[in-house]
Structure 1
Amino acid sequence: MSHQILLLAGDYVEDYEVMVPFQALEMVGHEVHAVCPEKGEGDTCPTAIHDFEGDQTYTEKPGHNFELNHDFDAVDPADYDALVVPGGRAPEYLRTYDEVLDITRHFFEEDKPVAALCHGVQILAAADVLEGRTCTGYPALEADVRIAGGDWTDGVTREGNLVTGQAWPDHPEWLAEFLDCLGTEIDHQDAAPAAADD
């Protein structure tokens, strides 16, 4: 069953965390609307590549320009079945938009699936939807989650319709949990590799 999914992007969203879910969800047949406040369809968001190279925190390098495919001002959250909130630097300022927080609250109030990764949990904390929920995010955000009334855990976590992960290395498990939450069934019968010619 195909779903309509809303993805919240912003300037300097993490490159892998916006590109991979967007492409993977479309690959399995869902329609994904990627939006950003003050931007419309065809506009782009510069991305940042965050890597884990043995320093005390992640390193940051320039990423790609991610093209939005829908107008933020046209979003009615009631039209969507699920929400994806990637990380990077974008959530830090996206959480200052009342419209972003209202959209986020809608998905929790209606018990729709929400997948948040890395710093995306900053938006959930600001929307005041973490009270009593177990979740995770980038490890430095444990205090943010606890202050917002959430219970912190390590690793990919699913509680009800909320699926959270710590960063892009969690993509395989995080996306698998989200697809399960959506009820997405993938038929692997046609995916077997063709036999090599002798």
Structure 2
Amino acid sequence: MKKLLFLTGDFTEDYETMVPFQMLEMVGYEVHAVCPDKKKGDTIKTAIHDFEGDQTYSEKPGHNFALNYSFDDVDVTQYSGLVIAGGRAPEYLRLNKKVIEIAKYFFAKNLPVAAICHGIQILTAADVVRGRKLTAYPAVGPEVTLAGGEFQSIAVTGAYVDGNLVTSPAWPAHPSFIREFLKVMGAKIEI
């Protein structure tokens, strides 16, 4: 069974943690959901971001999500891919040296990486988007450009693939985001 590392944290976007985690487990991956300074069994608080016609998304309390693996026990060599949730968590997760080292490892090994919404902030902080085409929540677009990436403005329901990297603007893209990540992972789902 292939293992995936799933980075998330307090005030991550609820759907961007719950849905990919469950979808990837559903198709047979062992997914280790982790957050710095937290252990297996600890919970993180999520936030629900919604698009209700305002100039930006609204935010409401989400669920508590139980982590199933301890961050300090992560050995990156044991994973076939990396998934990074969005929401507000990436703005502080990118300040953690080990989080940055994790992102750099997956790019150095050309392993599959999926990042959604603000999760791309971890990638820009890790300096791994230089020369890459990717998308993110539009407010993160300037960061992508400043980090040397080529921001792709796509529909909120879309996903963008550049080699081993799959990115998406926000949770409405889950069907295409997960489908494209599974392709990059080499998964075959027969119907």
Please classify the TM superposition score into its range, dividing by the shorter chain length: over 0.9
Letter in 1 for 2:184: C
Following superposition, the deviation at residue 3 of structure 1 comes to: 1.6
- Would you say 1:177 and 2:180 are equivalent positions? yes
TM-score by length of 1: 0.93
Give the Cα–Cα distance (whole angstroms) in 2 for the partners of residues 66 and 88 of structure 1. Answer: 14
Q: Distance in 1 between matches of 2:162 and 2:37?
A: 32
Specify the alignment match of 1:142 in structure 2.
141
Amino acid at match of 1:14: E
Asked if 1:161 corresponds to 2:160, the answer is no
Counterpart amino acid of 2:125? Answer: A
Query: Which structure 2 residue ranges, 5 or more long, are not aligned?
Result: none
Percent of aligned pairs with the same amino acid: 58
The CA deviation string for residues 153-197 of structure 1, in whole angstroms up to 9 with x for no partner, is 023210000000000001111110001111111121xxxxxxxxx
Instruction: Please tell me the root mean square deviation across aligned C-alpha atoms, in Å.
Output: 0.6
Shift of 1:6: 0.2
Give the total of aligned pairs: 187
Deviations 1:95-145 (A, max 9, x none): 000000001100000000000000000000000000000001000111000
Number of the residue aligned with 1:16: 15
How far, CA to CA, are the matches of 1:118 and 1:145 in structure 2? 12
Q: Separation in 1 of the partners of 2:153 and 2:31? A: 28
Runs of 5+ unmatched residues, structure 1? 189-198
Name the counterpart of 1:92: 91
Matches within 5 A, 1:109-124: 109-124=108-123
TM-score, L = length of structure 2 = 0.97
